[in-house]
Amino acid sequence: MLEPSPILIPQDYLGECLSQEEFAPTDSFVQRHIGADSHEIQLMLKAIGCESIEEMIARTVPAAIRIKQPLQLGKARGEYELLQELKAIASQNQVWRSYIGAGYYNCITPPVIQRNILESPGWYTQYTPYQAEIAQGRLEALLNFQTMIIDLTGLEIANASLLDEGTAAAEAMTMAAGLAKNKGNKFFVSSNCHPQTIAVVKTRAIPLGIEVVIAKHDAFEFDQNYFGALLQYPASDGAIYDYSEVIAAIHAQGGLAIVAADLLALTLIKAPGEMGTDIAIGSAQRFGVPYGYGGPHAAYMATKEAYKRQMPGRMIGVSKDVHGQPALRLALQTREQHIRRDKATSNICTAQVLLAIMASMYAVYHGASGLKAIAQRVHRLTATLAQAIENAGHIISHTAFFDTIHIQPQGIDISTIKARAATKQINLRYLDNQAIAISLDETVSKQDLQDLIEIFTANSQQLTANSQQQSPIPNSLTRTSPYLTHPVFNSFHSESELLRYIHRLQSKDLSLTTSMIPLGSCTMKLNATSEMLPVTWAEFGNIHPFAPLSQTQGYQVLFKQLEDWLAEITGFAGVSLQPNAGSQGEYAGLLTIRAYHQHRGETNRHICLIPTSAHGTNPASAVMAGMKVITINCDREGNIDITDLKEKAAKYQHELAALMVTYPSTHGVFEEGIKEICDIIHYYGGQVYMDGANMNAQVGICRPGDFGADVCHLNLHKTFCIPHGGGGPGMGPICVAPQLVPFLPNHPFNDDTSDQTDDFANTVSAAPWGSASILTISWVYIALMGAKGLKLATEVAILNANYMAHRLAPHYPILYTGRNGLVAHECIIDLHDCKAIAGVEVDDVAKRLMDYGFHAPTMSWPVAGTMMIEPTESESKAELDRFCEAMIAIKHEVKAIASGEMDQLDNPLKNAPHTAAALLADDWNHPYTRQQAAYPAPWLREHKFWTSVGRIDNAYGDRHFVCSCLPLEAYKD
């Protein structure tokens, strides 16, 4: 053991982090966020042959792009002090009772779910379940989610979440465009869809050449060639319509019917699948997920099994492991953009796993009868409210409704009603100054109802529940089919049982609470508790996304500061916080470029140059933005082939719209030529889009805005500490240069974007600031670190990657390094040798790492037969060493196979991961010992992470496709 060193940060950084001349807080966060202390930093620097951090940076980052001035972000602050400051900002938000509806409803998060999932690092620090054997817990929870969606919508298959209801509708539209028998380009949208959904769909349609026709659903024209139609069920104003006829009409002309349905309503009204719907989409927010001023929430999509290959997003499927036991994993992966690239019809990558899991647990918690009881109560309250308002002489527009009523006030101005509501701190939905809509939810109390009635009657009334009242749901639309019949929704209704179920699933999953997750490009750094605390504060959580700005002043302060900080960090002029994932940032950024060219009359600029090494979302996003992808070669060092770039930029100079470039490159190197690359694109009239996934190597050292990029997205769930949540939530804000500012996204419910250039208005997310509540995480991170702390984080991230590269290089060749032999914040190790000498695949190494208690790095991307390791700054040297030792020990096992000491086929690598059940079986017929299998490294004696299943057969599951919960018998031998 090393002696603890007295000073935890190098002298140079003492200044602001642990100031001696000022009253700096003693709970300095920088040294907690950064894994290595100053002594370990020195040891690692020495190992890689650098005298100092400065020397290391000078050898990795081209001098031409390094910033000379420190970032203007202020000093690092203590956690205690900062949370108090944030509390003061939060208190500027006013938490009114909101009955605005429009796709967002207040709800009760069961405390057992809030504390043990939403606030539990065992869940929120999980990575996307690519390594299925150590992800069976969240995969089961997601399978429950899919089963719930399948049951409630009455369709055959469902995916494991999408980003929000608006983007789900847009995804459904493009899916229908590909599937429709008629090859029309017209898409029908009912005018009674939620306004933000219409805005997102319209934005998505324009670059794809789709004509969106918005009209009342019964005005659907039967003689047109619509490839699809979108209907809201119940409609945005609350009306419940039987869509069977419209759906039949869409089918008659070869199109697909898409229904955006409310999950709680579906417990009482006929399932969309039973009306012939082809695709159902919607939000699972009201199943226990707070408003969060817009998110994060999980959207869903369900469809017919015949369309499984066209389904966007991730789908969990049932397969089996080597022992023949049912085991779960991501199904049909070849559908995804990382495989299909510019052939992909969707760019979605990070989705909303954590929130889908919460919603599924809400259904597990309540069960079918519990959900139905909630729905019935909400419905009865709504009927009672409607009756009282009608009795007071106002018109209730629709006779059939569930939880939302549309009111035409009589003999009273809307403004008077608005004023009365305001005195009670109540938000209603005001439509065109003529009508009002009110949506009720499970939190509504008798007092709430009384207050609502008083607003319309101006006097207090005694509420009398009318037991004879007819339900305003017509018989023909009453749900008769069962749902949530699977035992999982009927077994865990006591809190003890549910707590244990949640914990049982959690313990099957490896998260950052167990060990480092060195996922290249994904930056699995610390998600500090102080950063997470504010997310569930009521002042941030309980605000409807369309609450007036006057009530969200605290949020506005936070957004403004965060925008300013991100602009300073990237060197750009403007920021949009709307995109709710990196992929959405790419799409939004390319739309600003598209609008910029169009605004200048250069409508023919539609070519997007993308290097072959790019992440699959890049080409997929370019196609969604209406661009054509031309690939640029990379040279042997993994850098952009500048000659090829020049040639193609010149060749397409009249059509060139943009270059998409990742920096540092996906090969983990700061390309020397980045400035020249940007200059070439500008010379030929294009704009440079920088994929900001690797921003963790740049913060405080160089700025994309300075070296020539025009727009970049930031994955706040990578660089800025929003946890991965097992595959979401994320946030992907974009930062842009001055000429692109007028074209940033706007939103129909945000009156603050009136300065945008309307003709090119884009809405990319359902909510104005995307998943607003988790922006608090990044705000806290930046404020806690300050300018110097952030810079140090970047430096240590680069140091850690180089230290690991240094330790692993004798055993696994490092594929790419910069001019001075160093890498950036991640490194690619070459495993071809393992295959050549011992027949060991990358997959075998990944599975064997599980036996050592580790999650594998990124596999075979961006180069086949390799692993990409990104340690981040948050891991201690001890953890880096443990991981390196695991990799080195595995290499020894590979060599033992090569030398014949171990069997070619029956060895610990091919049989990994080893489950307890397999190790404890009565017979053990392998030529190596159980000890070798389970305890190959000393630290495993202290803590052993057991995988719950053996190696999973992926192909079997794709051949026998199942994406809902298996009957219990399947789990018996």
Q: Which two tokens stand for residue 275?
A: 């009306």
Residue nearest ligand PLP by beta-carbon distance: 582
Stretch that binds ligand PLP, among 367-375, 580-588, 823-831, 873-881 (CB under 6 A): 580-588
Stretch that binds ligand PLP, among 109-117, 576-584, 702-710, 919-927 (CB under 6 A): 576-584
Stretch that binds ligand PLP, among 218-226, 575-583, 866-874, 918-926 (CB under 6 A): 575-583
- Determine which residue in the list 174, 192, 427, 583 makes contact with ligand PLP, applying CB under 6 A: 583
Phi, psi values for residue 299, rounded to 5°: -95, 160
Phi, psi values for residue 690, rounded to 5°: -105, 120
Q: Output the smallest distance, CB 536 to ligand PLP, in A.
A: 22
CA distance 625 to 588: 8
Q: Output the CA angle 495-500-504, nearest 5 degrees.
A: 150
Nearest CB to ligand PLP, comparing residues 17 and 688: 688
Question: Are 198 and 163 spatial neighbours (Cβ–Cβ below 8 Å)?
Answer: no
Per 3-state DSSP, the chain is made up of helix, strand and coil in percentages (nearest 5) of 45, 15, 45
- Determine which residue in the list 272, 312, 729, 732 makes contact with ligand PLP, applying CB under 6 A: 732
By the rule CB under 6 A, 730 interacts with ligand PLP: yes
Nearest CB to ligand PLP, comparing residues 521 and 866: 521
Q: Output the smallest distance, CB 346 to ligand PLP, in A.
A: 11
By the rule CB under 6 A, 765 interacts with ligand PLP: no
- Determine which residue in the list 196, 253, 521, 947 makes contact with ligand PLP, applying CB under 6 A: 521
Q: Output the smallest distance, CB 857 to ligand PLP, in A.
A: 13
- Determine which residue in the list 61, 328, 693, 774 makes contact with ligand PLP, applying CB under 6 A: 693
Nearest CB to ligand PLP, comparing residues 505 and 569: 569
Q: Which two tokens stand for residue 74?
A: 């202020």
Stretch that binds ligand PLP, among 461-469, 577-585, 592-600, 873-881 (CB under 6 A): 577-585
Question: Amino acid identity of 585?
Answer: G
- Kindly determine how many residues on this chain lie close enough to bind ligand PLP according to the rule CB under 6 A: 16
Q: Output the smallest distance, CB 766 to ligand PLP, in A.
A: 16
**Among residue numbers 663 through 692, which ones bind ligand PLP (CB under 6 A)?**
666, 691
Nearest CB to ligand PLP, comparing residues 234 and 589: 589
CA distance 806 to 813: 10
CA distance 649 to 634: 15
Q: Output the smallest distance, CB 582 to ligand PLP, in A.
A: 2
CA max distance for the chain? 93
Q: Output the CA angle 887-889-894, nearest 5 degrees.
A: 90
Q: Output the smallest distance, CB 862 to ligand PLP, in A.
A: 9
CA distance 4 to 27: 17
By the rule CB under 6 A, 582 interacts with ligand PLP: yes
Q: Which two tokens stand for residue 282?
A: 């919607």
Nearest CB to ligand PLP, comparing residues 272 and 862: 862
**Among residue numbers 699 through 728, which ones bind ligand PLP (CB under 6 A)?**
715
Q: Output the smallest distance, CB 856 to ligand PLP, in A.
A: 16
**Among residue numbers 737 through 756, which ones bind ligand PLP (CB under 6 A)?**
none
Q: Which of 777, 883, 923 is nearest to 33 (CA)?
A: 777
Q: Output the smallest distance, CB 666 to ligand PLP, in A.
A: 6
Nearest CB to ligand PLP, comparing residues 381 and 660: 660
Calculate Rg over the CA atoms of the chain.
Answer: 28
By the rule CB under 6 A, 349 interacts with ligand PLP: yes
By the rule CB under 6 A, 771 interacts with ligand PLP: no
Q: Which of 194, 189, 133 is nearest to 166 (CA)?
A: 194
Q: Which of 731, 588, 762 is nearest to 292 (CA)?
A: 731
Q: Output the smallest distance, CB 713 to ligand PLP, in A.
A: 8
DSSP-assigned beta bridge partners for residue 552: 93
- Determine which residue in the list 120, 350, 576, 765 makes contact with ligand PLP, applying CB under 6 A: 350
Stretch that binds ligand PLP, among 181-189, 423-431, 581-589, 947-955 (CB under 6 A): 581-589
Q: Output the smallest distance, CB 693 to ligand PLP, in A.
A: 3
By the rule CB under 6 A, 662 interacts with ligand PLP: yes
475 class by beta-carbon count within 10 Å (0-12 exposed, 13-18 middle, 19+ buried) = exposed
DSSP line for 188-232: EEETTS-HHHHHHHHHHHGGGTPEEEEE-GGG--TTS-EEEEEEE
Query: Hey, how many other C-beta atoms are within 10 angstroms of the C-beta on 941?
Result: 8
Nearest CB to ligand PLP, comparing residues 288 and 668: 668
Q: Output the smallest distance, CB 501 to ligand PLP, in A.
A: 29
CA distance 124 to 724: 6
**476 Cβ partners below 8 Å, 6+ apart?**
242, 270
What number of helices (H) and strands (E) belong to the chain?
A: 31, 26
By the rule CB under 6 A, 346 interacts with ligand PLP: no
By the rule CB under 6 A, 403 interacts with ligand PLP: no
Q: Output the smallest distance, CB 615 to ligand PLP, in A.
A: 3
Q: How far is CA 667 from CA 300, 694, 860, 959, in A?
A: 34, 11, 12, 34
Q: Output the smallest distance, CB 149 to ligand PLP, in A.
A: 22
**573 Cβ partners below 8 Å, 6+ apart?**
567, 705, 736, 737, 738, 741
**716 Cβ partners below 8 Å, 6+ apart?**
722, 730, 731, 732, 733, 774, 775, 777, 778
Nearest CB to ligand PLP, comparing residues 89 and 829: 829
Q: Output the smallest distance, CB 450 to ligand PLP, in A.
A: 45
- Determine which residue in the list 86, 353, 498, 581 makes contact with ligand PLP, applying CB under 6 A: 581
Nearest CB to ligand PLP, comparing residues 234 and 733: 733
Q: Which two tokens stand for residue 49?
A: 């042959």
Q: Which two tokens stand for residue 41?
A: 């930093």
CA distance 347 to 4: 47
Q: Output the smallest distance, CB 550 to ligand PLP, in A.
A: 32
Nearest CB to ligand PLP, comparing residues 8 and 316: 316
**Among residue numbers 601 through 620, which ones bind ligand PLP (CB under 6 A)?**
615, 617
Stretch that binds ligand PLP, among 107-115, 129-137, 425-433, 579-587 (CB under 6 A): 579-587
**401 Cβ partners below 8 Å, 6+ apart?**
234, 238, 239, 240, 382, 386, 472, 473
Nearest CB to ligand PLP, comparing residues 349 and 659: 349
Q: Which of 617, 615, 661 is nearest to 639 (CA)?
A: 661
DSSP state of 468: T
Nearest CB to ligand PLP, comparing residues 98 and 617: 617
Q: Terminus-to-terminus CA distance in the chain, angstroms?
A: 48
Contacts with ligand PLP, 792-831, as mask; x by CB under 6 A: ----------------------------------------
Q: Which two tokens stand for residue 635?
A: 């040279």
Q: Output the smallest distance, CB 801 to ligand PLP, in A.
A: 15
CA atoms in the 13 A half-sphere facing the CB of 698: 30
By the rule CB under 6 A, 76 interacts with ligand PLP: no
Site of interaction with ligand PLP (CB under 6 A) = 349-350, 521-522, 581-583, 615, 617, 662, 666, 691, 693, 715, 730, 732
